[in-house]
Structure 1
């Protein structure tokens, strides 16, 4: 679109002066759409920034005295239209890094601690060296005057029109031809999907579903659909018509679990949804589109492209892709967009290079400090870019945490000075008695103490609070060099460096079969599975430990014992829907053996000589042994799933048949007898 650049204004001074200037600016711009984000002034609280996504403003005033939330800053910038302005109220720039920013609490600091403030120092340096930023200082004693020349987009761009046509072809053309839509922020991707959905509903498509990490991420999509659907009403996250036609939101995990039929599934912000859920959607739905923000606060589109394109090629080789490149709210080449990309490293995808030219035998592992990354912009960009590429959800918050996070420890892997691996860890534990008492009583929940609090609260292992840990937060290896031992070498180096000062390595993540296999092969043991699924990943979290000391070994044994005692109860309750391939990999080892009497009863059951209720304890023991043996026991997956469903999760025959997609109660019970026979054979 044509028009002038958006501008950035830095209003810096003491809080009272900056707040007074904000009041004057609001008075001066009362004819414009202006929003104030502040926790102390009469505006929208900074934590509620998602409420305005998809809307347009001539000016945003962000009160940095309320805390600089990097996610909020990156998000609200996209709501400022061409010719508008972003205004930051800040302490004096040269002293900003010493300000007690309330956001430091999210990075592990108490109000009495003084962080290095590296994120703010870097921010200030870039702002002072940018032609796109105008500074207004209190010491200059001048009135702050802001001039706006807002421009409103009046028509859809050619990119949007092309995308709308492509979406209609997915819904009306041949099945199993998914569409991948890629766009940078502010290109009208969500608007195009909403308009296309409305057109399809007007053409008598009955049921279109939308999924995303949260409903807030697709509010723009629904708003544009509503504008084009007279007679539809918004109710409970769905646009519905009296005749039954609807456009409805559904959470990713519920979508995969319920498998609802639809005329079209729109997966928005797909980069922020784990690949295993996306693959399940692709298998379940005949008409589907995936849209992703290339450089966005909901995840990396580049990482999505690397991870998911192989899945698309394997399952639906006739998939298509389209891109939106022209901005709709500001002109192409907008100075504020370019500055924001630098400030928050939105464009920090790892630079592509030929991994075939690198020899992993030349691998070098070394520690790197937050200070070193701060001083070397290229190194910071490479390190963060690798995290963006490797992880399904990397946000501006993670950039700030990388620079400002308390007790962070970093390692990097290089080959010929090329960054190929990154490891981010945090020191936890060694909690003093006063804080430990607060944790035990439920009155304190300190940041950066995930592992000791989890072990104490959920396993009842009190000595966990006084034990020391190095928790792995993120590990990333360059695509093309994975499965070559680089991740293992990073972990081994961290373990060696901390072997004299720390009791245990720890990690917590959304449990998938692939991740559990990786961590078990590197010496980690599961000790806890969370009871609830993450809404966006659809996974239960798992906590795993690896001992570094004798004290760590004893604590881990205590945790394993408690885990073994509690897991059977949890599998009948909160974990009754946990997948068998996860249980198989997360089940603790046991040295028990099947008794002669149990084997005899199970043999009789398998030949119909005994009923199911006569052998339930024996089935339970058989299943535990099949899951917990030191050696890998090769049993048909459907047999193991049947044994787990009946004996550990105590699901009745009808529900087992539904879960395993077999024909009714009799078929489920026959499968159980066959599974028992094979299980007994495998334990010979």
Structure 2
């Protein structure tokens, strides 16, 4: 029987480590994939952290050894590697003792100088579900395959849509979504092979990792048995199927007849936007619920982006499983235990205002006792951040320094905020951090303040960091987030905290949100975060007088450095974001010589190089990121971008047009009354 028509089998083995591993060995063979830190001979264990390198493979027998620690992300990955008819073996301590047993993953969540909490709330819940699930049975019907190709009806439709993208009108992207095991990568490979045979063409493939495209290339080679493999792909005559990493693809911008983006949710959205703008023929796939992060949360962001820049895009969702039968109990078990398919609370048309809502703390005990509330909370986090993964569920339930707060309208959870207690280090540890001898885990905010912002006092101050704030996707931009943040600020003050801070992938709307609450920008990370594709902004609010003075001093240092950094590390930074990070614009102040130089430049009587000092004085006082003229001045004067680059970015015909736009920008800004010292 074809694997796609079979359910997978689950075997839970509990007991001592020696007993469990010997029993598992009796069920295993030489093809078994053994995930864990130890295994009996002749098996070679694969540590959970290295499982990502095996994605794309399939196996008939998989052993997941959770005797020393349970990694939720690795478990979610492992569930998708067993083909239909295969066996999944889970090894655990006795369920009654499992939450109390020492656990490597739990220890990773515990900051330095904090005790390890026991029992694990995450494992308590998992063990209870496992105990109940083992008593349940069911074998739902599997849909039949179609035609002679062995493809599902969903895949056949996707194949036809991919052909339309490649051969039809340009600028009409296709987005293919599905849960794991539905054959997204397979249909990309089969479609690419068909296109290579039709005409000379170059198809590019990209993904978060090269290994994520293994199935795509395997299927392409299977359909093109005479095609030789190249270093990064497949060649068929004068046609090529080639892999390139996303950042290299955007940087080098090679020409292509079609771009295939596999597991697009794993690629930062700003990078994806660049690819979508560059390539007129593009197909993107994303897992809706999986270890990679939430494709659903990703689509909440990708959809509006495509509506704006490619309004004729299409989407299709694959429902029928390919690697196992529909209704597979192992898949259902993963969804149930890891809340991979969690959703925010449903809303029946109501549009509550902030004044209708109540903010309050959420305890771990309350969440473990109320599965519906836990699902609502995790669903909110998934919708707010598409990199939310199963490991975040363990973080919610087990991290000892994390507090949770919710925003409710009656029984419905409409918003949530996660807050980490940081700071208040011992003198010994604080001294070791100051001298760069230690970088203890769990203290991001005070360490950044001490080592990057010249604010060493923060190490021994009481402080909290907002890890994540989420509002129901249907209720955003209604003041609920600000309401929840005000509650948090008041609570932190009442509890005696000195500082409240946050670090996040910076975008203009997010920076404005935190500034509106009184937070000061103290730093912008020089490298883009892998998770968001954005630079991390550090913003802090002082909650007591001494801390407020220190925050203001650090903010002033940042504002002195930041304009200089724009010409060094941040030459490619979005100018709207650069302006958002600046202080609010005040009335422009220029001396007489500066005003005269700017007037001469605006009228075309003074060249740019001879007006640079006055232009810099003007640009340093700007603060409206919505103004195109102001953004242009930032890009030229502070970021030192070339006229050729500005012409491309502004879609102007050439350097003369850019110079004319710069002069007009200065004229517009200086026509309003100026204050002179």
Query: What is the TM-score of this pair, normalised by structure 2?
Result: 0.89
- Give the structure 2 partner of residue 365 of structure 1: 359
Equivalenced residue count is: 655
Counterpart residue number, 1:572: 567
Query: Match of 1:600?
Result: 596
Distance 1:499 1:158 in 2: 59
For the aligned residues, what is the CA RMSD? 2.9
The secondary structure found in structure 2 opposite 1:67 is: coil
> 2:221 touches 2:227 (CA, 8 Å); kept in 1?
no
Could you tell me whether the CA contact under 8 Å between 1:360 and 1:415 is conserved in 2? Answer: no
> How big is each residue's C-alpha offset from its partner over 1:291-321, in whole Å with a ceiling of 9 and x where there is no partner?
2222122232333444443444455444333
2:191 — aligned with what?
A: 196
Worse-superposed segment, 477-486 or 670-679: 670-679
TM-aligned CA distance change 1:272 to 1:420, over 3 Å: farther
| 3-state SS, counterpart of residue 356 of structure 1 | coil
Q: In the TM superposition, what is the alpha-carbon distance from 1:260 to its structure 2 partner?
A: 4.8
Following TM superposition, by how much is the alpha carbon of 1:625 offset from its aligned partner in structure 2, in angstroms?
0.7
Q: Residue 343 of structure 2 is aligned with which of 343, 349, 352?
A: 349
Q: CA deviation at 1:462?
A: 1.5
Contact 2:56 2:214 in 1 (8 A): yes
**1:598 to 1:454, Cα distance in 2 relative to 1, 3 A:** same
Alignment match of 2:395 (pick from 394, 401, 420): 401
The answer to whether structure 1 residue 671 and structure 2 residue 661 are counterparts is yes
- 1:613 and 2:609 are equivalent in the alignment: yes
Change (3 A) 1:558 1:111: closer
Task: Provide the C-alpha distance between the structure 2 equivalents of 1:272 and 1:460, rounded to a whole number of angstroms.
Answer: 35
Indicate yes or no: 2:8 matched with 1:6. yes
CA distance in 1, matches of 2:620, 2:486: 31
1:165 counterpart residue number: 160
Structure 1 residue 468, shift from structure 2 partner: 2.6
Give how far 1:471 is off: 1.3
CA distance in 2, matches of 1:642, 1:601: 19
Taking a change above 3 Å as real, the CA distance of residues 284 and 596 of structure 1, as seen in their structure-2 partners, is same
Q: Is 1:476 matched with 2:470?
A: yes
- Structure-2 change in CA distance of 1:650 and 1:306 (3 Å): closer
Task: Say if 1:440 and 1:16 are closer, same or farther in 2 by CA, change over 3 A.
Answer: farther
CA contact (8 A) 1:365 1:411 kept: yes
CA contact (8 A) 1:5 1:331 kept: yes
Name the SS of the counterpart of 1:10 in structure 2: strand
1:126 alignment counterpart? 129
SS of alignment partner, residue 122 of structure 1: helix
Q: From the superposition, tell whether residues 245 and 82 of structure 1 become closer, same or farther in structure 2 (CA, over 3 Å).
A: closer
**Alpha-carbon contact 1:298-1:395 (below 8 Å) kept:** yes
Do the aligned partners of residues 37 and 354 (structure 1) sit closer, same or farther apart at CA in structure 2, a change above 3 Å counting? same
**d(CA) in 1 for partners of 2:286, 2:593:** 58
CA contact (8 A) 2:270 2:533 kept: no
**C-alpha spacing 1:44/1:625, structure 2 compared with 1 (3 Å):** same
Q: Does 1:550 align with 2:545?
A: yes
Q: Which residue of 1 aligns with 2:141?
A: none
| Larger mean Cα displacement after TM superposition, 389-398 or 646-655 | 646-655
Structure-2 residue corresponding to 1:502:
497
Moved more, 606-615 or 544-553: 606-615
**2:207 is equivalent to residue 212 of structure 1:** yes
Cα gap change, 1:618 to 1:242, in 2 (>3 Å): farther
Distance 2:633 2:432 in 1: 43
Q: Is the 8 A contact 1:410 1:424 kept in 2?
A: yes
Q: How far apart are 1:259 and its partner, in Å?
A: 5.2
Alignment correspondent of 1:245: 240
Q: Is the 8 A contact 2:199 2:239 kept in 1?
A: no
Q: Check whether the contact 2:208–2:245 (CA below 8 A) recurs between aligned residues.
A: no
Tell me by how many angstroms 1:258 deviates. 5.6
1:563 and 2:561 correspond: no
Counterpart-to-counterpart distance in 2, 1:670 and 1:356: 51
Partner Cα separation in structure 1 for residue 314 and residue 608 of structure 2:
51
The residue matched to 1:209 in structure 2 has which SS?
strand
Preserved contact between residue 260 and residue 282 of structure 2 (Cα < 8 Å): yes
Report the 3-state secondary structure (helix = DSSP H, G, I; strand = E; otherwise coil) of the residue aligned with 1:509: strand
Deviation at 1:418, TM superposition (A): 1.4
- Unpaired runs of 5+ residues, structure 2, are 138-144
Instruction: Give the match's secondary structure for 2:115.
Output: coil
Cα deviation, residue 337, structure 1: 1.0
Matched, 1:39 2:37: yes
The match for 1:537 among 532, 548, 556 is: 532
Mapped to 1, the partners of 2:613 and 2:187 lie a distance apart of 57
Matches within 5 A, 1:443-458: 443-458=437-452
Give the equivalent residue in structure 1 for 2:57.
55
| C-alpha displacement of 1:533 | 1.6
> Deviations for 1:79-130, whole angstroms, at most 9, x for unmatched residues?
1012222222222322221222111243234598322311111111111111
Cα distance, 1:258–1:555 mapped onto 2, change above 3 Å: farther
CA shift for structure 1 position 376: 1.4
Deviation at 1:234, TM superposition (A): 4.0
Give yes or no for the alignment of 1:411 onto 2:428: no
Change in CA separation of 1:182 and 1:617 when aligned onto 2, cut-off 3 Å: same
Q: Which runs of 5+ in 1 are unaligned?
A: 135-151
Alpha-carbon distance in 2 for matches of 1:111, 1:55: 41
Match of 1:178 in 2: 173
